Amino acid sequence: MNTSREFISLACEKGVLRFGAFVTKAGRNSPYFFNAGLFGDGASFRALCGFYADAILAAGIPFDMLFGPAYKGIPLVAGVAIRLAEQGVNKPFCFNRKEAKDHGEGGTLIGAPLSGRVLILDDVISAGTSVRESVEIIGGGGAVPAGVVIALDRMERGAGAQSAVQEVRSVHGIPVVAVATLADLIDYLGDNADLAANLEAVQNYRKTYGIADEG
């Protein structure tokens, strides 16, 4: 099974991955737009979580539990924990709330207590803010970050020469695993007659803003 291709195919089918003219947060004119929040039904979200589980197992990163940063990481971490358990890998999970609660169980964390090596699940890495906050939460809980798993790596330069993923790797010293990358998307477009008209624009965007590879 080719997880990245199946993921891209489903993302296109559900309108999660769209082609046209879009402006990114950085003000760049992008020929494609990705919004994982549009996996908005049970079947497609289950499939998404299965793609994450497959990517995690294929990467072979040692980890003891999962963490999902609010808000998109909350349903994601629960769904991925279920899909991993279905494959015989039963791990505890935890997520945070944005505002501390002063009654009931209190605090900002919900789920299993943070411990051991913690794998962070998010949709994408843009400025790396969510990862930094997650690393701080994990460290504050006496655990250590094991890595980050995202849906799509845009392989795009940030403020400097590195991509957001490369910056996370160098700053935090942890691996980043993506279900699919921009290179995977370009390969997919080249093999798909219905979407091939978008190939040149995406290739040109990568030439302008992309990095050579994620090494």
Q: How far apart are CA 63 and CA 146, in angstroms?
A: 6
How would DSSP label each residue in 36-70? GGG--SHHHHHHHHHHHHHHHHHHT---SEEEE-T
Q: How far apart are CA 145 and CA 79, in angstroms?
A: 20
Nearest to 61 by CA among 139, 122, 147: 147
Strand partners of residue 210: 156
Q: How far apart are CA 205 and CA 215, in angstroms?
A: 20
Q: How far apart are CA 113 and CA 208, in angstroms?
A: 44
User: Is 172 an annotated catalytic residue?
Assistant: no
User: Is 101 an annotated catalytic residue?
Assistant: yes
Q: Which of 25, 98, 103, 207 is catalytic?
A: 103
Per-residue burial over 143-168, b = 16 or more CB atoms within 10 Å of its CB, e = otherwise: bebbbbbbbbbbbbbbeeebbbbbbb
Peptide bond into 188 cis (omega under 30): no
Q: Which of 72, 101, 172, 207 is catalytic?
A: 101
Is residue 94 a contact partner of residue 111, using CB atoms and an 8 Å limit?
yes
Q: Which residues are catalytic?
A: 101, 103
